Amino acid sequence: MLSATSTPTGDIRSPLAHIQEARTPPASQRPQQPQMHRHGSTPGMDTLAGESRTTDARRAPEAQPVLTRADLASMQHHQQATRQSSQGLRSPQVFQRAPSVGYNVHNITRTMSSTSAKDITMHEQPRVLHAASLGAAENKEINELLAKLKENSYDYTSHIRLVELLTNGLRDHVHPPDQPGVSRDPFSYELLSELRRARHTMHAKFAIGEESWVAWITDEKTLARSTEDRLSLMELCLKSVQEEPSSSTLWRLYGDYMYWLWAAAFDVEPADWTEDDKNVGREVFSWQAMKDVWEQALPATQWHINDSHLVWDRWMEIMLRDQEARPETQKLHHLRNAFTDRLLKPHATWENTFQMYSTFISRYFNAEYEDTMMTMTKRASRCKEQFALREHHELKVERAVKDGDKNAEWEAYSAYLEWELRNKGVFSFHLINALFERATLRFSIDATIWLNYVELLMEHPDSGVEVLPVLERATRHCPWSGELWSHRLLTLEAEGRSFDEMESVKHSATETGLLDVGGLEELLKVYIAWCGFLRRKAFDARSSEDDVDIAEVGIRSALEHVKEIGEKRYGKEFQGDPAYRLERINIKFITQSGNIQSARDCWRALVPRLENSYDFWFRYYTWEMVVWSKWCTRDKDNAGQQLESPREATNLLRQALKKVTTMDWPEALIDMFINHCEQNETVHEYRYAVFEAKKARAEVATRRQREAVEAAAAYQQQAVASTEAPYEDPAGNGKRKRDYEAVGEEIAAKKSRQAEEASVEPMELEPSSSTTAQLKRDREHTTVIVKNIPSSASQTRVRQFFNGCGKINSIILVPDDNGSTQSATVEFETQEDAKFAVSRDGKALEGESVQISLGTGSTLYVTNYPPEYDEANIRKLFKEHGEVVSVRFPSLKYNTHRRFCYVTFASAQQAEAASAALNNKSLGRNLKLKAVISDPAHKQVRQGALYDGREIFIGNIEHGATDQQVQDLLSPLEGFVNVRVPRNFGGKMKGVAFAEFDTPDNAKKAVETLDAKEFLQRILRATISEPKGTKRHATTIISQPSASPEPTGETTTAATDMNGTTASSSDAAKDRRERTIALLNIPDTVNDARIRSLVEPHGTLKKIILMPEHQGAIVEFAHVADVGKASLALDGAVIDESSGRKISVGTVEEMKKMRAEKKVDRIGAGGAKKKDDKKKEGESSSTKSTSAFMQPAPRISRPGAPGAGAGRRGGKGGLGIKRATGPSASAAGKDVEMGDASAGASGAGGHVLGVEGEGEGGGWG
Q: Say which residues have a Cβ less than 8 Å from residue 646's Cβ, sequence separation at least 6.
A: 624, 625, 628, 632, 676, 680, 681
Q: Which of 446-455, 473-482, 1112-1121 has the lowest mean pLDDT?
A: 1112-1121
Per-residue pLDDT at 1207: 40
3-state secondary structure of 780: helix
**Given this model, what pLDDT does residue 529 score?**
96
pLDDT (0 to 100) of residue 1204: 40
**Can you give the pLDDT at residue 1036?**
63
With CA atoms as reference, report the closest residue to 795 among 1127, 1100, 405, 504: 405
Q: How far apart are CA 273 and CA 9, in angstroms?
A: 42
DSSP codes joined into one string, 561-581: HHHHHHHHHH-TT----TT-H
- Mean pLDDT of all residues in 558-578: 88
The pair phi, psi for residue 995, each rounded to 5°, is: -110, 140
Percent of residues, the chain, with pLDDT higher than 70: 72
Q: What is the band of 630 on the pLDDT scale with cuts at 50, 70, 90?
A: confident
Least confident of 716-725, 862-871, 1156-1165: 716-725
Residue 530 pLDDT: 95
Q: What is the mean pLDDT of residues 1221-1232?
A: 39
Higher pLDDT, 1050 or 536: 536
- Average pLDDT rounded to a whole number, residues 205-230: 92
Per-residue model confidence (pLDDT) at position 90: 33
The pLDDT-based confidence of 1247 (bands split at 50, 70, 90) is: very low
User: Averaged over 939-963, what is the pLDDT?
Assistant: 83
Under the banding of pLDDT at 50, 70 and 90, the label for residue 998 is: very high
Residue type, 925: R
Q: What is the mean pLDDT of the chain?
A: 76
pLDDT for 104-114, tens place per residue? 333 333 333 33
Report pLDDT for 638. 66
Mean pLDDT of 130-138: 91
| pLDDT value at residue 625 | 94
Q: What is the pLDDT of residue 336?
A: 95
pLDDT at 177 over 50: yes
pLDDT band, very low/low/confident/very high, at 145 (cuts 50, 70, 90): very high
β-bridge partners, 852: 786
* Residue 672: burial class (beta carbons within 10 Å; 0-12, 13-18, 19+): middle
pLDDT digits 0-9 by tens, 1101-1116: 888 888 888 888 899 8
pLDDT for res 755? 37
For 1194-1223, what is the mean pLDDT?
A: 40
Res 1082 pLDDT > 60: yes
Range of weakest confidence among 123-137, 300-314, 488-502, 753-767: 753-767
Q: How far apart are the C-alpha atoms of 1160 and 1110, rounded to whole Å?
A: 18
pLDDT above 60: residue 1205: no
The reported pLDDT for the residue numbered 1259 is 32
pLDDT surpasses 80 at 273: yes
Q: What is the mean pLDDT of residues 997-1024?
A: 92
Tell me: pLDDT of 751 over 70.
Answer: no
Could you tell me if 1092 and 1038 are in contact, meaning their C-beta atoms sit under 8 angstroms apart? yes
> What is the pLDDT at residue 951?
94
Nearest to 806 by CA among 830, 841, 842: 830
Rounded Cα distance between 1210 and 1220, Å, is: 10
pLDDT at 985: 59
**Is the confidence at residue 161, as pLDDT, over 70?**
yes
Contact 1150, 1187 (CB under 8 A): yes
* Tens-place pLDDT, residues 1143-1172: 888 888 888 888 877 766 666 554 444 444
Q: What confidence score (pLDDT) does residue 380 get?
A: 93
Q: Quick one: pLDDT band at residue 1029, thresholds 50, 70, 90? A: low
pLDDT in tens, 958-981: 988 998 999 999 999 999 999 999
CB 1047: neighbour CB atoms within 10 A?
Answer: 6
CA distances from 907 to 464, 855, 860, 1138 (A): 55, 7, 11, 22
Write down the pLDDT at residue 8: 33
Between 954 and 942, the more confident residue is 954
What pLDDT score does 718 carry? 60
Confidence of residue 940 (pLDDT cuts 50, 70, 90): low
Q: How confident is the model at residue 795 (pLDDT cuts 50, 70, 90)?
A: confident
pLDDT tens, position by position, 754-768: 333 333 334 333 333
pLDDT at 1035 over 70: no
Q: Are 1182 and 389 in contact (CB under 8 A)?
A: yes
Tell me what the mean pLDDT of segment 480-498 comes to: 94
Given this model, what pLDDT does residue 977 score? 92
* pLDDT value at 1074 more than 50: yes
Q: How confident is the model over 381-408, as pLDDT tens digits? A: 999 999 999 999 999 999 999 988 999 9
Mean pLDDT (whole number) for 844-849: 80
For the cut 70, the answer to whether the pLDDT of residue 37 exceeds it is: no
So what's the pLDDT on residue 83?
A: 33
Segment 848-865 shows an average pLDDT of: 87
| 8 Å CB contact between 1045 and 1118 | no
Give the pLDDT score at 250. 96
Nearest to 302 by CA among 316, 322, 288, 319: 316
Res. 1045: pLDDT tops 70: no
| Model confidence at 796: pLDDT above 90 | no
pLDDT tens digit sequence for 494-531:
999 999 999 999 999 988 888 877 778 899 999 999 99
**Residue 1037: band (very low, low, confident or very high) from pLDDT cuts 50, 70, 90:** low
3-class secondary-structure state, position 933: strand
pLDDT at 1248: 31
Give pLDDT, residue 1040: 52
Q: What are phi and psi of 900, to 5 degrees?
A: -155, 170
Average pLDDT over residues 248-253: 96
Q: How far apart are CA 88 and CA 69, in angstroms?
A: 6
Alpha-carbon span 126 to 1235, nearest angstrom: 66
Which pLDDT score, from 0 to 100, does residue 16 have?
29
3-class secondary-structure state, position 814: strand
**Dihedral of the alpha carbons of 287, 289, 294, 296, in degrees to the nearest 10:** 150
CA torsion sign, 537 to 540 to 543 to 545? positive
- Pick 677 or 17 by higher pLDDT: 677
Where do the H-state alpha helices sit in 919-952? 945-948
pLDDT at 744: 44
- Other C-beta atoms lying within 10 Å of the C-beta of residue 839: 10
576 with 520: CB under 8 angstroms? no
Q: What are phi and psi of 751, to 5 degrees?
A: -70, 135
CA angle 166, 167, 171 (to 5 degrees): 120
> Which pLDDT value is given to residue 1093?
83
pLDDT of residue 937: 64
